[in-house]
Amino acid sequence: MGKENGESIEERTAYHWADETALKIIREKGEKDVYTCAAGITPSGTVHIGNFREIMSVDLVVRALRDQGRKVRFIYSWDDYDVFRKIPTNMPKQEELARYLRFPITMVPDPWERDESYARHHEVDVETMMPVVGIYPEYLYQAERYRASVYAGGIRRALEKREELRNILDRYRDEEHKIQGPWWPVSVFCQSCGKDETGLDGWDGEWGLSYHCDACGQGGTVDIRAAKGVKLNWRVDWPMRWEYEKVDFEPAGKDHHSRGGSFDTARHICGEVYGWEPPVTFAYDFIGIKGLGGKISSSSGVVIDLKDVLRVYTPEVVRYLFAGTRPNTEFTISFDLDVIKTYEDYDKTERIAWKMEEAKDEAAYRRERRIYELSRTAVSPEGKTLMPGVMPWQAPFRHLCSLVQIADGDTEKTIAALKKSAGKNAADGPAEEQIPALRERILRAKYWVEHHAPGEFRFSLRPPGERAELPADLALGVRALRDTVAADIEKFPDDKSCAGAIYKAAEEAGLEAKALFTAAYQALIGRDQGPRLAGFLRSIGRERLLQILSAY
């Protein structure tokens, strides 16, 4: 076994499921020059975040293999020669799309008129997002490959083994559900009208396949080696391609992994008909979405994809969510207050990984460090994890939510405020190389506050000159706050000393502290509550505080 960074894969295996799977692949498939890891999907609609779990899971295992110095071919199959069976409810131009039912999805026009087809539109949506999260597969387009007769040999094999295939598919079915009547492992898109509403009439024992079309009445004999439109049934197509690509690893959704499910039959077909040992696999579970209120339900047609998740979570935190959860465990992606908790969890893992915070024991440290490594998006030319040269500068998400609002949503002003809050010692502030990642996080804080945060998170500072209607005693309290706290705000070394001064100001004005707090929020943001006052005042800064409070 290879030893990298002084640690063998066996040692790592104890700490992360991706390393565990990588080791299983090496053990079961033996020492190989290249390991082939596969994922794939039919782009028959939006590729939602639940579908994304597959490609992410494979990427994590690919990364684990490459981190051990193994060479990997990572293929992602677009099963775009599938038939357009159903129009998803979130698609525009439903009536127009209905005209293309039963055609291959590559022949359906793009309802947004952006790409060459309906299938391509969904493919492009995914392919443009993958590099953002550090995923670089080799895409295989099945329509193109089938139409180029790449699989002619595999199709002929299926025809030769027609009865065996039928028996395998029937193996898990009770009498009532066994295949009835004549059965073929292939289907043909009509050479005249393009639809798949065809029936097969015979096979000549070599390359000729005859069919008739129920849609247009045409038919004839096609040569499997040359004709466009001959396609294996899904349950046979999948294992045929495992053999064709020599796939060593491919996971599948737990629905495919049920007894007698498509993975189960594919495993038998792969071994018994195509003579290839089936890939190492695992089942991955579903993903829940939380905090979108009534916006998401299966009937509403709202579909959450990776792009939506990336509006709220940075690419590293997205990877962290997947890397930190075993694939066979369901988890939830939150858009509500738990967004803050997720960022806090990530930051803690980061501190542990960089030994800035102690883990509860060595095993916990190793686990957290490995999750952190796998969360990084940057990879070397060989695909190995690249760690940043210095630990990222941590800015708590909750704090950024306040700062970005004080900065009127301006990212650069928010960064300037962060630098300023580091105080006289500029070395305590973010360094140039740490700013790009910070900028990414600020954009998410801004988006979250605007779109998903609970109402109490949102505020805007009063413009100078605008005055809250306050009783005389509270107005006096605000004036005391201005003259004794705001005017000296830059002199407080931390929130605690500033909070002390606020309490003192309340006492001197003869007010309950709570009353002064309410008055301060009213004066600043026109509400009874807001972010913790001391930190809030310090974040706003002297100049702006005095501008707003000059009205008292």
Task: Give the pair of three-digit tokens for residue 169.
Answer: 């598919």
How many residues of this chain bind Zn ion (CB under 5 A)?
7
Q: Which is nearer to Zn ion, 133 or 213 (CB)?
A: 213
Residue among 528, 524, 529 at smallest CA distance from 552? 524
Closest approach, Cβ 75 to Zn ion, in A, equals 33
Selected range binding Zn ion among 183-191, 253-261, 450-458, 513-521, rule: CB under 5 A: 183-191
How many C-beta atoms lie closer than 10 Å to residue 527's C-beta? 14
Nearest partner of 243 among 279, 281, 283, judged by Cα: 279
Nearer CB in complex with Zn ion: 186/407 = 186
- Min CB(213)–Zn ion separation in Å: 3
Q: Which of 484, 494, 485, 486 is nearest to 547 (CA)?
A: 486
Task: List Cβ neighbours of 541 (8 Å cut-off, separation of 6 or more).
Answer: 417, 420, 489, 490
| CB nearer Zn ion, residue 193 or residue 487 | 193
- Fill in the amino acid letter for 458: R
Closer to Zn ion by CB, 190 or 401: give it: 190
227 binds Zn ion (CB under 5 A): no
Rounded alpha-carbon distances, angstroms, from residue 196 to 72, 146, 155, 156, 217: 36, 15, 17, 19, 12
| Residue (215 or 513) nearer to Zn ion, CB | 215
Residues 185-204 that bind Zn ion (CB under 5 A): 190, 192-193
Q: CB under 8 Å to 383, separation ≥6 — which residues?
A: 62, 63, 66, 72, 136
Which of 215, 283, 422, 435 touches Zn ion (CB under 5 A)? 215
> Cβ 216 to Zn ion, closest distance in Å?
3
Question: Which of these segments, 42-50, 214-222, 292-300, 316-324, binds Zn ion (CB under 5 A)?
Answer: 214-222
Nearer to Zn ion, 220 or 429 (CB): 220
- The interface region with Zn ion, picked from 111-119, 169-177, 217-225, 490-498 by CB under 5 A, is 217-225
Q: How far is CA 86 from the centre of its chain?
A: 25
**Shortest approach of Zn ion to residue 197 CB, angstroms?**
7
Comparing CA positions, the residue from 119, 262, 105, 266 lying closest to residue 189 is: 105
The C-alpha R_g of the chain, in whole angstroms, comes to: 30
124: contact with Zn ion by CB under 5 A: no
Binding marks (x or -) toward Zn ion, 245..274, rule CB under 5 A? ------------------------------
Residue 213 binds to Zn ion (criterion: CB under 5 A): yes
Assess contact for 272 and 189: CB atoms under 8 A: no
Interaction with Zn ion in 325-354: which residues (CB under 5 A)?
none
Which residues of this chain interact with Zn ion, rule CB under 5 A?
190, 192-193, 213, 215-216, 218
